[in-house]
Amino acid sequence: MLGVGEMGSLHAKLLSTKIRGASVTVVSDPEQGKARQVADAVGARVEVDPFSAIDAQDVDAVVIASPGPAHEAQVMACLERGKAVLCEKPLTVEADASYRIAKAEDALGKSLVQVGFMRRFDPEYVKLRQMIVSEELGPPLMLHLVHRNVAGPEGFTSEMALTSAVVHEADTVRFLLGEEINAVTVHRGTATSRAGPGVSDPMLVLFETESGRLADVEIFIRTGVAYEVRTELVAENGTARIGLGANVVTSGPTNRWGGLLASGFVERFGPAYEEELRCWVRAVGTGPPTGASAWDGYVAQAVCEAGLEALRTGGRAEVALLERPSASSRVAPA
């Protein structure tokens, strides 16, 4: 386990208590105290150097939850040693670096990298994708996506909203539609008073896919309300909505009926993280991972870079993808 901040600690705890066939043997984090604490909790030892950790004989597979800038070297080290790796998003900060990873993996002729887009393991997204693949409602035509957070950290910019939050929606669009995003436009609307000067929140992001489908995303970081993530599919013969969170419905205590919204991503997607780890651990040593690939990680970053350009120019930015390495699976094969 490389990096034991919020995500790394969550992964370590899940791996050591809930995931069949996995044990955390080595923990590494620049903050030694934190590393020691997590290692003790899960019965692991600490390695100060992340590359020694990757090298270790009792390490079959690596989870990377370190800060983004550290990812490239760590993932590459895993590839060199032929070890499976689950890397939290972003795969790398720059799209180019992600592409180098995809190429290196391709040269190995072996899929070793999974990127942590956990929504692909959430039952609702899985169901929606099944509906698309089975054409239960006919071919997909359009998507409407909503991504709302309660609040952003201090200093959270419009750019970060794209790279940290909208990136999930970009992967969702690709996962659901099974095709690439060709262009991005970002519309800055009226900002909430909670947004600082110069920050656009909410925004409306428009994706166009290679076949010409449209997907619009409301990204709203500072709702002050809840973590609310919804997707609506518009298909040839009907539409479908997920993310309604309607399993427990109350009347009262005030004069309202309704349900509770999630407070954050751990509450909403906790079980998806768990399932992601379960599938990944099962695949280690037995076959390619079933989650997002290095290519998916690369494309996500390329879309983010186009999004940042669109935000800056106020216009439409095209996503120029490099050639897909031959062994890379296409997005979300059915």
DSSP three-state, residue 151 = coil
The CA-based dihedral angle spanning residues 305, 179, 176, 142, taken in that order and rounded to the nearest 10 degrees:
90
Interface residue with a copy of itself, options 10, 141, 308, 327 (CB under 8 A): 141
Say how far apart CA 22 and CA 276 lie, in whole Å.
13
Identify which of residues 50 and 202 has a Cβ nearer to a copy of itself in the complex: 202
Question: CA–CA distance from 334 to each of 114, 134, 282 (Å)?
Answer: 17, 9, 20
CA dihedral sign, ordered 279, 282, 284, 286? negative
Two structure tokens written together for 269: 């997607």
By C-beta, is 211 or 329 nearer to a copy of itself?
211
Quick one: 21 or 67, whose CB is closer to a copy of itself? 21
Residues from 7 through 46 that contact a copy of itself (CB under 8 A): 17-22
- 268 is an interface residue for a copy of itself by CB under 8 A: no
Nearer to a copy of itself, 70 or 234 (CB): 234
Question: C-beta of 202: minimal distance to a copy of itself in Å?
Answer: 6
Q: Say how many residues touch a copy of itself, by CB under 8 A.
A: 73
Nearest approach, Cβ of 4 to a copy of itself (angstroms)?
20
Instruction: Give the footprint of a copy of itself on residues 174-203 (CB under 8 A).
Output: 187-194, 202
Which residue in the set 136, 196, 312, 320 belongs to the binding site for a copy of itself (CB under 8 A)? 136
Tell the smallest beta-carbon distance from residue 230 to a copy of itself (Å): 10
Nearer to a copy of itself, 72 or 124 (CB): 124
Q: Vertex 306, ends 210 and 313: CA angle to 5°?
A: 120
> Is residue 69 part of the contact set for a copy of itself (CB under 8 A)?
no
Instruction: Provide CB contacts within 8 A for 24, sequence distance 6+.
Output: 1, 12, 15, 16, 39, 42, 43, 44
**Of residues 82, 109, 134, 251, which one binds a copy of itself by CB under 8 A?**
251
Surface-to-core class of residue 247, CB atoms within 10 Å of its CB (0-12 exposed, 13-18 middle, 19+ buried): exposed
Minimum separation from the CB atom of position 119 to a copy of itself (A):
14
Instruction: Establish if 269 lies at the interface with a copy of itself (CB under 8 A).
Output: no
Single out the segment in contact with a copy of itself by CB under 8 A; choices: 61-69, 73-81, 104-112, 247-255.
247-255
Residue 57 engages a copy of itself in binding (rule: CB under 8 A): no
**Nearest residue (CB) to a copy of itself, 190 versus 326:** 190
Cα dihedral: 271, 272, 277, 278 (round 10): 70
Are 7 and 15 within 8 A, CB to CB?
no
End-to-end CA, the chain: 31
Please identify, using beta-carbon distances, which residue of 30 and 314 lies nearer to a copy of itself.
314
Nearest to 54 by CA among 84, 78, 32, 30: 78
Beta carbon nearer to a copy of itself, 246 or 334: 246
Binding mask 206-245 for a copy of itself (x = CB under 8 A): x-x--xxxx-x-x-x--xxxx-x-----x-xxxxxxx-xx
Q: Cα angle at 166 between 160 and 279, to 5 degrees?
A: 115
Q: Which of 88, 193, 93, 184 is nearest to 151 (CA)?
A: 193
Please tell me whether residue 247 binds a copy of itself under the rule CB under 8 A. Answer: yes
CB of 238 to a copy of itself, least distance (A): 2
Nearest residue to 60 (alpha-carbon basis) of 233, 285, 234: 285
When asked if residue 285 is in the footprint of a copy of itself (CB under 8 A), the reply is no
